Structure formats: structure tokens, C-alpha cells
Copies of this chain bind each other. A is one copy, B any other.
Amino acid sequence: MAAIRPKEFLMIPGPTPVPDEILEIHGRQPLGHRSTEFSGQVELAVQGLKWLGETESDPLILTASGTGAMDAAVANTINRGDRVLSLVCGVFGERFAKIAEAYGASVERLTVEAGQAIDIESVKKALAADTGKEIKAVTVTHNETSTGVINDLESIARVVKAHGALILVDAVTSLGAAHLPIDKWKLDVVIAGSQKALMLPPGLAVIYFGKEAWKAYDQCNNGRFYLDLKRYKTSQDKNTTPFTPNVSLVMTLVKSLEMMKEEGREAIQKRHIEMRTMLREALIEMGLKPVVEEGNASPTITSVWPPEGVSVADIRARLKGDYAIIVADGQEDLKGKIFRIGHMGYVFPRDIGMTINALATIFKSLKPVTRS
């Protein structure tokens, strides 16, 4: 017989905790997707997403992972042979570059070391070197999930738009948590995923597609059907979807946007910054070193180097075993080297306090070990 255990708490960078009001909707019988009731939900979701992104861009709702929307961002704007500049500060920046390559683009990478933010001066230099204005698009990660860096997207976008290229933004772990006014910053394409700051289970992605992006679409000749964004635009303009969507997640999206509107965009952003600061200060006080320096630290993910002689695996196992708190390992080159604490969406300073307390207790008891 299983003992009574605390409820598992996901402090990973997605999936994130889901509010009970949303789980309740997720647990209902699905609506028919061609019903007037469901069309009403599509309309509300689109309105809410425009409010959230402060934009008149089309927020197209895809039944897909966030990577599906990243793929669609490329597949609908970039042709084989087009030049793309990819700003890479971690795993997801690299993924965007790989997607562009998968579509045959000629990709130039501007890569910084893990934990660093994109350097604006290098971006300026790379674009200035493109005297023939051949670079068609720049891919950039707003908030790099693998390290917990938030990039200065406003400044990057200013430079890119001044050059005349498209800017394609991965905002999977920032939209709904960090300041991101799409129209004010002139972002052409912005993508997000349901299982992050939107407080939903995974399975839905959003891609904001702006006027300049639609111009590129008209010149785009990639083979595509399911991710052909015009199909979504045409259907959504009539409050419907081109294919059977994940109706449950669309309905939960309406609810989460309603909850977010009630809290307010600025209040949500402030809460995330407060959690970041609270967590960083406590970690530093414990003698730990965050991977990212203060000025570039993400409001949604904090990466930490483990104490000397203590393994990431042990920290994660103790947090899970003793406290039912789940944090993430590093990814790829950083696997086993750092651990990552997600604090986005339905997470509050109270929960950060819980995690800090658990970590402090664990570190006191964990004896440094030498590992070969």
C-alpha cells in the first residue's frame, strides 16, 4: 500500500502546475469542434491571445508542441537557399537554427557560451556585414529554457527591423510571464506553448503571425499542409479551425486567459520577477552560484551549479523523494552539471519559499562526495 505523499509539484520549465479550475475543464467531455459553442471559444481564445501579446497580429492556434510552431515559423517564411541569421545562446536557439537548416536555409549562427545572453553588438556587426541585405530572417530565443537567460529582445528587434529582416521569436517560456509587447517591438513571428506560463497541459502551440510575415508567406514555396498557416488564418477568421483541434485545450486556454486578465499582465510579470529575485538571493545566501548573471536572469527559469562535490542527480532525487518537488537536470552538454528550477505560470512566492526551504535542508544533510 502506498503511503500518503505530498502532491507532486512540478518546478521544471514545463509542463508547469495547472490550476484546478483548468483541470476541471480539461476533464470534461469534449465539445464537437463544428458546434457554435466551440466557435465561441475560438473567438474568445483569439481575443485573449491578442490582449496577452498586445498585438493585432493573428494568433494562430496549432494542435502541436511548441516545436511544431517553431517549425511553422520557418516553413511559412523561409525558402530553400534563403539566408538566415540564428542567435544561439542555448539548446532552443540551436533548435531554431536546425529547423531553418532542415528547410534548406543557409544558416549563419551567432553563438554565445551557455549562460550568456545574446550580444547586441555582435548582432549589429553581423547585420552590418550583410551589405547586400541578403539575410531574410533572424531567429532568436526570447527566454532560453536550457540556461535561464532572458535576452534583450526589444534591442535585438530594433536592430533586426532596422536592417529590414524578419524577426522570428521563440517566446515559449516567456509569453505570459515576461514583458512582450509584440506590436510595439515590431516582432514578425512569435511562438508560445500551452504548458508554460499559460498554465495549461501540453499539446497546444500559438504562433503570432504579423503583416510582414504574411508578405513572406506569399513568396514561400515549401511543401507543407498541416503547418500551412494560411489554412489556420482562413478558418480562424470564421471562428473555426481547419482540422479537428484539441478542443479541450482550446477551452482551457480561454479560461487561463480569463484568469490572467483578472490578475493583469503587469501584475503577472511582477510576480515572476519577484520569484526570480527571491530564489536567486536565497541560492546565493546558501553559497550556490546561479548559472546566469543578475542582468540576464530569466523571470521563469533559474539554473544553478550544484555545490562542490554534490551531484545534480542526488539533489534531484532528494527533492523528489523527500519533498515531491521536481526540478530539471541540465540539457545536452549541461546534463548532470547544472539543475534548473522552473517558476512560471501557476507558481507563487509561497512555492519558491517551499523549494528554498527544501533545498536548504537537503544541502545541510548532503555530504560532498568525490565522484570519478
Measured CB to CB, the residues of A under 8 A from B are 7-8, 10, 12, 14-15, 17-18, 23-24, 26-35, 63-68, 70-72, 74-75, 80, 98-99, 102-104, 193, 195, 201-204, 222-228, 242-249, 326, 328-329
Q: Is the CB of A226 within 8 A of B32?
A: no
Known pairs A98-B225, A226-B65; A203 contacts B10 (CB<8 A): no
Q: Is the CB of B34 within 8 A of A328?
A: yes
Q: Which of B7, B29, B244 contacts A18 (CB 8 A)?
A: B29
Given contacts A65-B244, A328-B34, contact A223 B104 (CB under 8 A): yes
Known: A15-B247, A63-B202, A67-B244. 19 other contacts (CB 8 A): A7-B29, A15-B244, A18-B30, A30-B201, A32-B328, A63-B65, A64-B64, A68-B243, A70-B226, A102-B223, A103-B225, A193-B244, A201-B246, A201-B247, A202-B244, A202-B248, A203-B204, A203-B245, A203-B249
CB atoms of B18 and A326 under 8 A apart: no
- Is the pair A63, B203 in contact by a Cβ cutoff of 8 Å? yes
Which listed residue (B7, B10, B244) contacts A66, Cβ 8 A?
A: B244
**Whole-angstrom CA separation of A329 from B225 in the bound complex:** 25
Closest Cβ of chain B to A73, distance in Å, is: 11
Q: How many copies does the complex hold?
A: 2
- CB-contact partner of A27 in B27, B33, B193, under 8 A: B27
Report the minimum CB–CB distance from A3 to chain B (whole Å).
Answer: 17
A-B CB contact pairs (8 Å), 23 listed: A12-B34, A15-B30, A15-B31, A17-B29, A23-B29, A26-B27, A26-B248, A63-B65, A63-B202, A63-B203, A64-B64, A65-B243, A65-B245, A67-B243, A67-B244, A71-B225, A71-B227, A75-B223, A98-B225, A102-B228, A201-B248, A202-B248, A222-B223
**A326/B35 contact (C-beta < 8 A), A65-B226, A203-B63, A246-B203 known:** yes
Give chain B residues whose Cβ lies under 8 Å from the Cβ of A67: 225-226, 242-244
* Complex Cα spacing A130 to B151, Å: 57
Give the residue name and chain of the B residue nearest to A193 (CB).
B244
Give Cα A134 to B35, complex, Å: 44
Nearest opposing residue in chain B for A12, CB measure:
B32
Q: How far is the CA of A65 from the CA of B222 in the complex (A)?
A: 20
Contact across chains for A223 and B29 when beta carbons are under 8 A apart: no
Q: State in angstroms the CA–CA spacing of A249 and B14 once bound together.
A: 16
Chain B residues near A35 (CB, 8 Å)?
A: 326
Q: Do A195 and B244 touch (CB < 8 A)?
A: yes
Known: A15-B247, A225-B99. A30 touches B202 (CB 8 A): yes
Knowing A223-B103, A226-B64, A328-B34, say if A8 contacts B23 (CB, 8 Å).
Answer: no
Q: Contacts of A225 on B, CB cut-off 8 Å?
A: 67, 70-71, 74, 98-99, 102-103
Contacts of A74 in B (CB 8 A): 225
In the bound assembly, the distance between CA atoms of A10 and B248 in angstroms comes to: 15
- The reply to whether A244 and B14 form a contact with Cβ atoms under 8 Å apart is yes
**Which of A26, A65, A223 counts the most chain B CB atoms within 10 A?**
A223
CB distance from A254 to the nearest CB of B (A): 16
Closest 4 CB pairs between A and B?
A: A27-B27, A203-B246, A103-B223, A71-B226
